[in-house]
Amino acid sequence: MNLDKIQLRGMSFYGFHGATKSEKEIGQRFIVDIEIELNLRQAGTSDNLEDTVNYSELYNLVENIIKGPSRNLLENVAETIATTILTQFEIHSVQVKIKKPEVPIKNSVLKYASVEIYRLK
């Protein structure tokens, strides 16, 4: 069964997540992609916002979690986002990817570190 998707890509927020003291004190930028699967047929025919998931609500939810209380692991941040989306919206599944572009690994050269999870309702 193929489901329809809503995607928000490249959301960028400043937060204070990480395992090190400096990450918690100085903070850093996080880039978040989410993809939700649901049936969009009704919204496609009705042209009514109540028949779909409001992008602004998804964005604000992710922003509040990233800018919220500090967590040690990206895994926990991603799980919190996924669980909250599954709880608050009538959807089939959610995929969350969080990128940490300025990951503090001594002598490292990398574009980003990331965590990606997929959860079903």
The structure tokens listed for 20 are: 């090190």
Question: Residue 31, Cβ neighbours under 10 Å: how many?
Answer: 17
Active site residues: 100
Cα pseudo-dihedral 79, 82, 87, 88, rounded to 10: 130
Report d(CA 109, CA 38) in Å as an integer: 38
